[in-house]
Amino acid sequence: MKVFYDKDADVSLLHNRRIAVVGYGSQGHAQALNLRDSGANVVMGLRKGKASWTKAEAAGLSVMPVADAVREADLVVMLIPDESIAEVYAKEVEPALRNGAALVFAHGFNIHYGQVEPRADLDVFMVAPKAPGHTVRSTFVEGAGVPALIAVSQDVSGQAKALALAYATAIGCGRSGIIETDFREETETDLFGEQVVLCGGAVELIKGGFEVLVEAGYSPELAYFECLHELKLIVDLLYEGGVSTMNYSISNNAEFGEYLTGPKIVTEDTKNAMRDALAFIQDGSYAKAFILEAKSGNPVLTSKRNQLKRHQLEVVGAKLRAMMPWIKASALVDKTQN
């Protein structure tokens, strides 16, 4: 595996190119601000009357309606939610895209699953930072950066990879490392990791552990601390040095319990369920389900969000976090800014 760094990129490739960033959410605000601070000519493509327009202007960015921003751009970066990209691209982006422009994504979903079929005259590449946008921005401001994946789907100009490296470096990723992949690999591994481990698996494990302790008569406050709050301590150790570093730092008692009980929780049946989840992603079934959910007005997402708000884990957690003001003081997410 080859890793690219700042020294491998020519950021000057962006200096005479206008970059339109479509979307001002987590990744949109972070990448736009990092690009601007790296000297790039950035314009936001947003919807008038939306809160994002006001937030982007307050951050000192130039803001235009989507089609107007795209019409003047050499690179168009699609940083709106996956489920919105196909419609916005078809109605507002593609008709305004000039010949020979570059179309940029932060996730391979819409290209890999054929929701967007770019014209043959366009460069198409991906720059996918391996962190939420708030971390992409905060690490950049601190003088560091997060790793990123790059991939090229169409290279009409012969410069698509060089542009991807330049873009990744301009948002700070060349400071920590840039790895080349392809749209399929990035999409399928990203969805799998989110569903099986990072979000789906972790959340259900936390909720399950909390519910078992409460059902057994233990206080929900202690159950929250043991099954959710202290998870950050463990994840920080894993992030820093892997499983061995975590085991070095925890007690022998905790490590012994890890070996004794962990394999009873994540069993071969669990791994078979993981394999089924991967197949569901690989054959496009998950993408179809997600796209249908969005077209139907997100009934499942809305229902699940409402259920989660009422879950005892969330109610107790909000009360306990209010006792720890340092959590809010160092929060990554500021909803008033992005």
126, 164 contact by CB (below 8 A):
yes
Spell out the residues 6+ positions from residue 34 whose beta carbon is closer than 8 angstroms to its own. Answer: 136, 137, 140, 170, 171, 172
Using CA atoms, how far apart are residues 175 and 177, in angstroms rounded to an integer? 6
Q: Measured between alpha carbons, how far apart are the two ends of the chain, in Å?
A: 35
3 state DSSP class of 55: helix
Q: Which of 15, 29, 107, 229 is catalytic?
A: 107
Q: At what angle do helices 200-215 and 312-321 cross, to 10 degrees?
A: 90
User: If we measure between CA atoms, which residue out of 103, 89, 102, 104 comes closest to residue 27?
Assistant: 104
User: If we measure between CA atoms, which residue out of 181, 182, 174, 186 comes closest to residue 4?
Assistant: 174
CA distances to 33, 203, 214 from 305, in Å: 30, 13, 22
| Helices (H) then strands (E): counts for the chain | 17, 9
Phi, psi of 128 (to 5 degrees): -115, 95
Active site residue 107: yes
3 state DSSP class of 186: helix
β-bridge partners, 149:
128, 179
Using CA atoms, how far apart are residues 124 and 151, in angstroms rounded to an integer? 9
β-bridge partners, 4:
178
Q: Encode 42-73: b = buried (16+ Cβ within 10 Å), e = exposed.
A: bbbbbbeeeebbebbeebebebbbbbebbbeb
By annotation, the residues acting in catalysis are 107
